[in-house]
Amino acid sequence: MQTTSSTRTQVAIVGAGPAGLFLSHLLHRQGIESVILEHRSREEIEGTIRAGVLEQWVVDLMNDMGLGDRMMREGHFHSGITLRFDRQSHHIDMAELTGGKRVTVYAQHEVIRDLVSARLEDGGSILFGVSDVQFHDLDGKTPRVQFRRSPDGPVEELRCDFVAGCDGFHGPSRQAIPAATRTEYQIVYPFGWLGILTEAPPSHPELIYANHERGFALLSTRSPEVQRLYIQVDPKDDIANWSDDRIWSELHRRLEDESGWTLKEGPIFQKGIIAMRSFVCDPMQHGRLFIAGDAAHIVPPTGAKGLNLAVADVLVLSRAMTAYYKTGSSEGLDRYSATCLRRIWKAERFSWYMTTMLHRNEHESPFEQRVHLAELDYVVHSRAAMTALAENYVGLPME
């Protein structure tokens, strides 16, 4: 593409999701310039409703960066979770098992709103609605990113020292790593989640994960007035087949136990079906391109690791870039992929473990299904097993 204008920054960030926005903030704190290129509008990224469970260290990081005021006012702080199977409920006290750590339920789109607002207030550069992003000279010392600010607009060029690909699973960044040099690992699960948002009061103070003979169910929260719930379904099913009455009937059957606890209903104002996969790209870097977040890895939502892994990636990357600019050392940049992948594979393991233990897979034998129930029974009666689950759920320490 022939360019009409060229500008310069230190780090070009492609994608204004959690990874890209956190990276821009972290670099700004170290005096490193960045420009974010995002193909969606600000309204789209702030209005795409997605759940979010933040690990303890991510909450601490947001507060340390001065970005956590609204989260601390409006978030829901959970010290434990409930595992429900065979119509019995078992509470996992994560705070007691991990020395006081907990998780915070604060939707991903709310995190994005906070990060966008603060970055723009700081004078940060976020270009929304860009298209036709292309990379050049990634192996050289001055990579170039070409793009258009509108589909019919002129081609512009952003010259930089480094490119951070934070543009999600379907973005161009991962594809810029030569296919011959990257390995992609993937599992596509034979089930999906039907998720709803409902105007109803909370039915339980914390999350409930249920293994039921009819399939998995999850009770979560969004706010004191809005709740988020999920049930396991065929990922190829049509949402039109699921009336509100059918959804509530399944939620009651899968979530209620012998204690007499009852699910509270309300009007459903959003529902949809999502497929589930696990995915990892290795390596996460090529020349002066570094990919992070969903561009590099996907986890099923059962383990609540997606946003947290994205933040971990860019924290590692920001530290490596800071060392490069302050000392000239490229050691951290050279080891970026290896450092991140150690944590990523642990999160992939935990997410796979939670997913296979809690879901009913019609392709599994009765023997395998009984093993999953035995695993649940072991977890809720072994302090060592509960501790392992709790440590992974609230977040492993950052290296």
SS3 per residue for 324-348: HHHHCCCHHHHCHHHHHHHHHHHHH
**What is the DSSP code (8-state) at residue 195?**
E
d(CA 211, CA 83): 8
Buried b (16+ CB within 10 A) or exposed e, 371-395: ebeebbbebbeeeebbeebbbbbbb
CB atoms < 10 A from the CB of 282, how many?
18
Q: Could you give phi then psi for residue 8, rounded to 5 degrees?
A: -130, 140
First to last CA, the chain: 42
Structure tokens at 214: 């009819």
Q: Could you give phi then psi for residue 205, rounded to 5 degrees?
A: -75, -15
8 Å CB contact between 169 and 42: no
Structure tokens at 119: 């970055």
Residue 393: C-alpha distances to residues 116, 204, 219, 278 (Å): 27, 19, 16, 17
Q: Could you give phi then psi for residue 20, rounded to 5 degrees?
A: -65, -40
Amino acid at 75: G
Which residues are tagged catalytic?
A: 78, 209, 301, 305, 393
